Homo-oligomer: A and B are copies of this chain.
Amino acid sequence: MHPTSSNPGPEFNQPLGGNVMPRFGGPASMFRLPTPASADGLDVAIIGVPLDIGTSNRSGTRFGPRQIRAESALIRPYGMATRAAPFDSFQVADVGDVPLNTYNLAASVKIIEEFYDSVLAFDVKTLSIGGDHTIALPILRALHRKHGRMALIHVDAHADVNDEMFGEKVAHGTIFRRALEEGLVDGGKMYQIGLRGTGYTAGDFDWTRRQGATVIEAHECWYKSLAPLMEQARGRIGTEVPTYLSFDIDGLDPSVAPGTGTPEIAGLTAAQGVEIIRGAFGLNLVGADLVEVSPPYDVSGNTSLLAANLMFEMLCSFPGCMRRD
């Protein structure tokens, strides 16, 4: 599964084509891929995690997986700018949603963790559709059991390193403090990109910096390409360290991603979001997520469509994804 230009054969699942079934019809699975009952035999398992009770402001991300899948019907199999060919490179399928308990956040976190443990029993990478950002914590826990301490590329408007929220240790704004405390993530190989807005103290972002993380605030990104930043990140993390990519859609500007729960102004452009993900090609990505899309606030459906495209780009950045001539 190293990049080559030889076609690996028809054994890989292909998205249902737009000239076989109109894009507005057909199954509403992710990328119109098959939906097997288990991850057995997959290289990449796409998993929905429709959790939104860990969110502090607008809710609605519970409908993220359904809506992102619906909008993903427009995605075709090749990346034009990168010539990436994920469906010639990997066996990918949509294994469905985690059956969480929507009345109990702590119970759901445990259910998610166990679900990922069972998926990771296979030799598979996970690509997760949120749901609110809380889901990243149980995913990281499960991945840590398999891969050990990981590097992290974290795109977000918020650092998500509060110690607690309303007295709770686990909610969508505390997860990376937990991940660092639990040793799931290596602070020295952690990038937080796009942070901005207002905080409870002026030093909210300093805590992560003290853990060794590189924090790139949004205003450092304005008007310019993030390709150099990602080149630096690849140099620092290297090609071997298991790396997780967690992409909160609110890292991007509300103009491109209106459908989210805690938007912050003056964020990254869609192009910058794409550059971050494309710049992760070359890292040893073992999993990725796209979180915090809230369909009730996404009237045109375009935030979900953006999310689907970013998830396609994630597939293209998984190690071994071929580039076509």
Contact = CB atoms under 8 A, between A and B. Distances in A.
A246 B76 CA distance: 24
Contact of A103 (B84, B166, B267, B269): B166
Given A101-B168, A198-B80, A58 B24 contact: yes
A199 B76 contact: yes
Contacts of A196: 80-81
Contacts of A270: 253-255, 265-267
A57 B24 contact: yes
Given A271-B223, A309-B265, A52 B57 contact: no
Instruction: Name, among A62, A205, A298, A299, the residue most crowded by chain B CB atoms within 10 Å (CB to CB).
Output: A62
A258 interface: yes
A25 interface: yes
Looking at chain A's contact residues, the main secondary structure is loop
Q: How many copies does the complex hold?
A: 6
Contact of A25 (B22, B50, B70, B312): B50
A149 interface: no
A161 interface: no
A202 interface: yes
Contact of A52 (B59, B253, B310): B59
Contact of A274 (B21, B265, B273, B274): B265
Contacts of A43: none
Interface of A: 17-29, 35, 48, 50, 52-60, 62-63, 65-66, 69-70, 73-81, 83-85, 96-107, 164-168, 170-171, 195-205, 217-219, 222-225, 253-256, 258-259, 262-267, 269-271, 273-274, 296-302, 305-306, 309-310, 312, 323-325
Those 7 A-B pairs whose CB atoms lie nearest each other, nearest first = A202-B324, A25-B97, A296-B296, A76-B198, A59-B59, A25-B50, A83-B202
